[in-house]
Amino acid sequence: MTKHTSRFKNPLCPRAFRLMLALLNAPRSREECDRLAPASNSPHYIGILKKRLNLELPCERVPFITRDGTKSWYGRYHATPADKAKMREYLANVKAANDAQEKAPKGRG
C-alpha cells in the first residue's frame, strides 16, 4: 500500500464532486444543487455522496408561499460539522494522490 492510502476507495463522479464542494461552503436548496451539478436529479448525486463518503447531509424542509399563494416547502441540504470533516479528508486524499502521481517516474514513450 502507498503512503497515501485512503478509506475512500471510489473516486467521485464530476457532478458529485461539484456538489460536495458547494455543500462544503454553504447550505444549498435542491434547485441550487440541480444547477450546480448540473443535473435535474441532484438527489441521486446527494445519495452518492452519502454512500461513498458516509455523510449525513440532512435535508431540511423550508416553508414558503408559491407565487400562486399556496403554502409549500422546498428542500435545503446542509453538511454537518462531521460531514465537512469527511469532505476535507476526501479532498486531502485527492490532493495527496495527485501529488504522488506527479512525482511518479515518467514512463518511456
Q: What confidence tens digit (pLDDT) does each residue in 21-37 have?
A: 999 999 999 999 999 99
84-87: long-range pairs with CB below 8 Å, 24+: 84/24, 86/53, 86/54, 86/55, 87/20, 87/23, 87/24, 87/53, 87/55
The reported pTM is 0.79
Residue found under cell 476535507: 88
Higher pLDDT pick, 101 / 44: 44
Q: What confidence tens digit (pLDDT) does each residue in 49-99 have?
A: 999 999 999 999 999 999 999 999 999 999 999 999 999 999 998 877 766
The torsion angle over the Cα atoms of residues 84, 61, 44 and 13, rounded to 10 degrees, is: -30
d(C-alpha 100, C-alpha 90), whole Å? 15
Considering only CA atoms, which of 89, 104, 100, 88 is closest in space to residue 4? Answer: 100
d(C-alpha 26, C-alpha 28), whole Å? 6
Query: Residue 102 is inside which H or E element, if any?
Result: helix 81-103
